[in-house]
Structure 1
Amino acid sequence: MAEALSAVGFSKADLGFRPKGYWSRFPDPQTVPHKLHFFDSLFAEPLRTYDFTSVMAQAVRDLLSVEKLEAETESLFKLTYFLGIEHKVGGFRGYSANLDPQPAAEAPLLAAVAKVYEAAGSQMRLMVFGKRADWPDPEAEITKQLQGVDPQLEKALATLLLNLVDAYSWRQLALRNVPADALHSVFAMRDFHGHSTDGQSYPHQVDDVTRTLDEQSLYYGAQKAVQAAHDAARALKPLVAADPAKYQTVSIRFSTPLGLVAVGGTGNDSYPDGDYAVLIDLGGDDTYLGSVGATSSLSGPFSIAVDLSGNDTYRCGDEQRLAQGAGVFGAGVLLDLAGDDTYQAKRGAQGYGLFGLGLLADYDGNDKYSLDYSGQGAAYFGIGLNLDGKGDDTYYFYGDGQGFGGPGGVGVLANVEGSDTYTAEPLAEKAGRPDYHSQMKIAVSQAQGCGAGARADGSHGHAWAGGLGVLIDLQGNDHYESGNWSLGTGYWFGTGLLYDGGGDDVYRSVYFTQASGAHFCIGALFDEGGNDQHVLYETGGAGLAFGWDFTVALLVDKGGDDSYEARMISLGCAQIRSNALLVELGGNDTYTMPPGAEGFGAATFLESYAKPSYSYGPYSLYGNSFGLLLDLGGTDRYVDKDFAAGKEQPSTRAADNTTWLRPAKDSPQYGYRSFGVGLDAETGTVPDFRLPGGP
């Protein structure tokens, strides 16, 4: 890396951007709304993006397994912290959710339900004419349903309800200053995926909420809900495993002011749609309809669902119903501990947050996830987490998910074991949202590690910074398919990251993809090993380490015999003052582009760079363009290919064991703080892509 930089007189200190308030026409970096706190530091030190991403990957490696989730009390809490809370909101350091439920020794569930009524400002026991009302009588109803129920099960359920009361108190505190009309308007929003990233519309209620919401209290309550769900799962699983037949016919269902409470036995059960605060199933092949583990209303902000085992089906066909791990002004948590499960929903599901936290954690099994928009680890102004521990899993949806951070959001999809398939429907005729970059044929995916904001510099001026979108897959031979804006891509102060821990992987996408971005953002893709294929098809370009307009783009692939294929402006290509670095460490690799296509380590020259008196965009004079293709080790091929004719030949622009500059040093376009470098060498090291103190 140092050698490549020194070839044009640069050092690592020349990478990245440190915007100043006096840069004309550059959005003031100190006042960009919803910008996440880490962004400026990574924007200034882009090589640290690997460290930043690796910490999250290490948390997944250490904590997201059946063994760890069952054995360690705070494993899920810590995952929620390291993947979401830490990057979204300050004030926490991941110590504990501080639960202290203290269930009553006698009739613990009745006592806990009484606490729920009290917290909601209601009464469980109603009096009229100096005596108990004949009806409703929740005490009698619950007492009847508890006949013959294992006291340990009753205690676990009581403990869960008491913990939810604790979480609810903090959520109420969080909303104390939020205007009611703004609260109701934002809660009803289900169409963020339809809002243009260019800012044609302005839902002002979002800013009204932002100015008045107490985020620390909201996410303290959310962390308590996550810990409460995990504690319940850890308590119930060994209880049922010791004697499954004992719990075969368990059936509990009653209402509370915060939502329904239901418990099903070890048989094959079916649960209708409902506003569940708690839904526990002790085993069997079950069917869940509608809203499960998701905020159902402003008066029912928390929902916890736990399924201990079985091949289950979760299905929600209502576009207006949140489902399967979704939180809005609260938290929705769905834990499925075992079985080959199927998840189907429309919008706002499978790990989705909007001013709240949504978590879907599936511990084990070969699972199938399908969705239209907004989920599978997606958030706008909130946190959405989709965590899968083990199995060969399939993810399919249209857009805004699979690790998507919309404005002010943190969305993460993390998967540990198995050969998995991730698909964001690329065809606009199916998914909608056609992109003009691809002749309106390819969809705007915003998926698989994408952080995207909503710019409004060409309209009403209420721009919102993008969030953090992350996809982490640690093991297996995985297949990634998407359209545009995907696979480690940023937009408008957003950060998109993809981390693959190894395996022979296939990455197929089209435009602004695979370590890319536009307009003041960060996009990175890290692959730790395997024989990988990186393919840009159709109008395939603006990818494989591409930056447009003050973008940091970083693609690092370690080991293996890898192949890269693009149609235009790719493979370490920097445009409009960007840093675009493709680093390939080891293996016999192949790079393919059409003859004359900009890339292979290039920085595109603009006439304005040569005009210091250029009046209306002088911030371009303060930034450096740097495009890099660095390949260390192996026997590599650089190919010029005519894709229409199907003919190829060795490239005349790049070759194994050589160094090249683009623009060339003897070109009149050379200089002007705009440099492209290609360096292919037999040996060398890049310590920047090892964690400090690591091997």
Structure 2
Amino acid sequence: MTEAYDALRARLGRSAELYGARGASPTVNAMLADPLGAPTLAIAITDRIDAAARVAPVDVHALLVESARLFDLEAPSDDLGPAMADAMLARASDWEARLALAVELLGDAARELDDALSAIPVEERPALRDATNSLLTAFATNVYPTMEEAHGRTCKSLLSIDRPALLRAAGWAAIVARPDFWMPLRDEARRRAAGSTARLDGVEGKLIEVRDTPLGPVVIGGFAKNRYARPLALAVDFGGDDVWSAAATSAEPEHPVCVVVDLFGNDLYEPAAEVEVGRPAQGGACLGIAILCDQFGDDRYRGGRLAQGAAAGGVGVLVDLQGKDEYQGDAYVQGAACFGVGLLVEVAGDDSFDAALYAQGMAGPIAIGMCVDVAGKDLRRATGRYPSSYGTAGEFMAMSQGCAIGMRTLAEGKVHVAGGFGILVDGGGDDRSTVGEFGYGIGYYLGTGIVRDRGGDDVVEASRYGIATGAHQAVGLVLDDDGDDRYVNRHVASIAGNWDHMVSILVDARGDDVYEAGGISLGSSTITSFAALIDGAGKDRYDAGGSDLALGACGHADDVRNGTRSVALFMDLAGKDEYAQVNAAPPPAEGFTALRKRTDTHEGKSAESGIGLFVDQVATKRR
């Protein structure tokens, strides 16, 4: 088995080279080359993400540094980190100095952004924005959009963006988005509000101050309900149940930098109008930098596409610190990005997340998408609008919840771009996740999808290619630290089962868990792939759905064609377990270990196509 594993990892480690993808991350290459080391890498990555989300204020700088690290890019310097930011604030403690500092930092962000986009002439950026929207629309219904020459040209333009400069631009803007930048001014804001007559077209309600800048208006809102319905460079609102339009909370070439800080109130964030369905919103950016921070309140986020911490060719960030919040969106939402970085950080509250496609920690080509929920009993749903690409009645595409997907074609001479890192981190709470096809820790075409759940009794219901799976030279990982969890996916390629040059691993460390699976599942790999299901402790139940490709069984006729063997592991390391609907000989049992080999035939040639290990270990008491 060691020989088969070593041969497999050597083949997988050459995936980017063999399949001609642009922009493949060294990190995904490392995971493909060392599948058993992938969980350790993913734990380190998600530990850093979780730590950045738990500090006050949320360390957006650290999340940007992590985004650079994942692609081995030059990271934003410590000059943009919390220590230097604290020093800046200490030197600019009064109202005038603090506003002047904010304008200066936004100017720094704009200059870095212009450097990042320097390969794209300024006058051509609106047209590239429109072409990018067209590309994303095509990608929503066809995973091969670059078969069209126009979309291939758009990808090439987006690949020209200087990503380190883009991250630096976001780092400057993130300092202004910290609540502690503005909270010390609250008493002064109340005093100034009493006599203010400030007004601005497109903004209704009580304003404290309005300033014109080269980037657009800077607006300081008061303590009552306001409505913001126009593009803004900076908006800070001190209170009231406000209404924010898409234009006021997003960035595009015409208004490339936007920072919004809402400190108090139960706010409503509106989507773009139906005629502007491709326009970003709520910390959404296309060829720009948009950061939205909402400190307190039970808020409602209503988005269309490219919203709620999402970006295309830019950086979009949404940080919500407290409250019982509702997120609704269509596609490319809730921590999603293509050719950029999209971050959604939810710190506290029992929240609901509802989307249709490309959401909740989703990364497209050379992108980072993070959805981080630190605490709370949450509901996540990503399904229901885009019909199954396989024509399965009643099923829908999702590509969500820790999902990363590249753009590939089945033709030579077209543009192929590697996927990025789609990461979902849940810090605890009894959560329920429902996701359509391709969801919950899945990778596709040199993408890496990661789900890390730190605790809680969770339920996950998925469809085809769901729960630590994927296809075509990629990595899908689910890491659950604790809790009595239930994983349900009766479809093919499910729950640590995969297809075609994949690494898929589910590790559940503790808890009395239930696994309800279908074909190619529960530690089963096919076509030059590796899969593992490892359950550390607890009284567990495994239902294989009658599949003969489960519980360490692996292999496919195409392995014979490729001259490879797939490798799989199923390991239950402790606890009294139950097995149902098993199609394996000999059948699994407590304290049982078996080496499972499979032979297949391709064009008259028969050979071993897979080798797997089944282990059910009975824990021994310590002396």
TM-score using structure 1 length: 0.79
Write the deviation string for residues 511-568 of structure 1: whole angstroms up to 9, x where unpaired.
Answer: 101010111000010110110000014xx22111112111000000111110001122
The residue aligned with 1:525 is 478
Per the alignment, residue 394 of structure 2 pairs with: 441
Deviations 1:96-145 (A, max 9, x none): 32779999xxxx9xxxxxxxxxxxxxxxxxxxxxxxxxxxxxxxxxxxxx
Any residues of structure 2 matched to 1:380-399 within 5 Å, and which? 380-399=338-357
2:127: which partner in 1? 185
After superposition, what is the alpha-carbon deviation per residue over 1:308-345, rounded to whole angstroms, capped at 9, x for unaligned? 11111111232132111122222100001111111001
Task: Please show how residues 518-597 of structure 1 align to structure 2 within 5 Å.
Answer: 518-537=471-490, 540-597=491-548
Q: Contact (CA 8 Å) 2:526, 2:559: kept in 1 or not?
A: no
Measure the CA separation in 2 of the matches of 1:152 and 1:669: 79
Q: Within the alignment, does 1:677 sit opposite 2:613 as a pair?
A: yes
Any conservation in 1 of the 2:493–2:518 contact (CA below 8 Å)? no
Map of 1:216 onto structure 2: 164
CA distance in 2, matches of 1:420, 1:246: 40
Could you tell me whether the CA contact under 8 Å between 1:472 and 1:498 is conserved in 2? yes
Aligned pairs for 1:335-350 within 5 A: 335-350=293-308
3-state secondary structure, aligned to 2:349 = coil
Instruction: Look up the match of 2:386.
Output: 432
Distance 1:512 1:587, change over 3 A: same
Once the two structures are TM-superposed, the CA of residue 94 in structure 1 deviates from its matched residue by 5.2
Give the direction of change, closer, same or farther, for the CA distance of 1:193–1:588 in structure 2 (3 Å limit): farther
Question: Of 249, 261, 279, which residue of structure 2 is paired with 1:306?
Answer: 261
Is the alpha carbon distance of 1:403 and 1:294 closer, same or farther for their aligned partners in structure 2, counting shifts above 3 Å?
same
Three-state SS of the structure 1 residue aligned to 2:39 is: helix
What are the Cα deviations for residues 568-624 of structure 1, in whole angstroms up to 9, with x where unaligned?
221111111100100011001101123344212111242762xxxx6xxxxx22x44
Describe the SS at the equivalent of 2:26. Answer: coil
Q: Is the 8 A contact 1:544 1:570 kept in 2?
A: yes
1:363 deviates by 0.9
1:443 alignment partner AA: F
Residue in 1 that maps onto 2:198: none
1:78 aligns with 2:20: no
Which residue identity does 1:309 align to in structure 2?
F
Amino acid at match of 1:511: R
1:348 touches 1:374 (CA, 8 Å); kept in 2? yes
Tell me, in whole angstroms, the C-alpha distance in 2 between the residues paired with 1:382 and 1:486: 21
Identity across the alignment (%): 28
- 1:657 aligned residue: 591
Superposed counterparts of 1:270-349, under 5 Å: 270-272=227-229, 274-295=230-251, 297-318=252-273, 319-349=277-307
Query: Could you say which residue in structure 2 is the equivalent of 1:142?
Result: none
Distance in 2 between residues matched to 1:247 and 1:671, nearest whole Å:
80
Question: Given the alignment, which residue of 551, 555, 569 partners 1:600?
Answer: 551
1:488 matched residue in structure 2: 441
SS of alignment partner, residue 173 of structure 1: helix
Distance 1:205 1:69, change over 3 A: farther
Deviation digits for residues 389-419 of structure 1 (CA, Å, limit 9, x no counterpart) = 1111100000111000101111000011111
Q: Does 1:92 align with 2:81?
A: no
Q: Separation in 2 of the partners of 1:557 and 1:684?
A: 19
Assess, with a 3 A threshold, how the Cα gap between structure 1 residues 153 and 585 changes in structure 2: closer, same or farther.
Answer: same
Residue 625, structure 1, aligned to residue 561, structure 2? no
- Using a 3 Å threshold, how does the CA distance of structure 1 residues 34 and 60 change in structure 2: closer, same or farther? closer
CA-based RMSD: 3.1
Relative to structure 1, the CA distance from residue 404 to residue 102 in structure 2 (aligned partners, 3 Å threshold; closer, same or farther) is: closer
Question: What whole-Å deviation, never above 9, does each CA across 1:136-180 have from its counterpart, x for those lacking one?
Answer: xxxxxxxxxxxxxxx933332221111011111122222233245
Q: How many angstroms does 1:182 deviate by?
A: 5.7
Q: 1:511 to 1:166 in 2, by over 3 A?
A: same
Q: 2:203 maps to which residue?
A: none
Aligned-residue offset at 1:361: 0.4
* Contact 1:629–1:678 (Cα < 8 Å) also in 2: yes
Give the equivalent residue in structure 2 for 1:174. Answer: 116
TM-score, with structure 2 as normaliser? 0.88
Q: One-letter code of the match for 2:596?
A: R
Task: Give 1:236's match in structure 2, choosing from 178, 182, 186.
Answer: 182
* Cα distance in structure 2, aligned partners of 1:216 and 1:608: 40
Structure 1 residues 362-441: aligned runs within 5 Å: 362-425=320-383, 427=384, 431-436=385-390, 439-441=392-394
Whether the 8 Å CA contact 2:27–2:71 is kept in 1: the answer is no
Where 1:222 maps in the other structure, the secondary structure is helix
Match of 2:23 in 1: 34
Amino acid in structure 2 at the alignment position of 1:340: D
1:57/1:671 Cα in 2 relative to 1: closer, same or farther (>3 Å)? same
Most deviating of 94-103 and 449-458: 94-103
1:204 is aligned to: 152
SS of residue matched to 1:534: strand
Q: CA deviation at 1:16?
A: 3.0
Q: Which residue of structure 2 lines up, in the alignment, with residue 130 of structure 1?
A: none
**Partner Cα separation in structure 2 for residue 329 and residue 542 of structure 1:** 36
TM-fit CA distance, 1:239: 2.9
Q: 3-state SS of the aligned residue for 1:263?
A: strand
1:305 Cα deviation (Å)? 0.2
Structure 2 residues not aligned, in runs of 5+: 195-205
Q: Is the 8 A contact 2:159 2:339 kept in 1?
A: no
- Structure 1 stretch 588-597 or stretch 377-386: which is displaced more? 588-597
Equivalent pair of 1:663/1:670 in contact (CA under 8 Å): no
Distance 1:599 1:181 in 2: 56
* Contact 1:499–1:526 (Cα < 8 Å) also in 2: yes
Distance across 2 between alignment mates of 1:277 and 1:659: 63
Q: Is the 8 A contact 1:516 1:524 kept in 2?
A: yes
The letter of the residue matching 2:520 is I
Task: Tell me how far apart the structure 1 counterparts of residues 535 and 258 of structure 2 sit (CA, whole Å).
Answer: 45
Q: Distance in 1 between matches of 2:182 and 2:261?
A: 10
Indicate conservation of the 8 Å contact 1:556/1:582, yes or no.
yes
- After superposition, the Cα gap between the structure-2 partners of 1:51 and 1:95, relative to the gap in structure 1 and judged at 3 Å, is farther
SS of 2:118's equivalent in the other structure is: coil
Partners of 2:17 and 2:7 in 1: how far apart?
A: 21
Number of aligned residue pairs: give it. 595
What is the CA–CA distance in structure 2 between the aligned matches of 1:252 and 1:502, rounded to whole Å? Answer: 45
> How big is the shift at 1:181?
7.1
Shift in alpha-carbon separation, 1:198–1:175, aligned structure 2, 3 A: closer
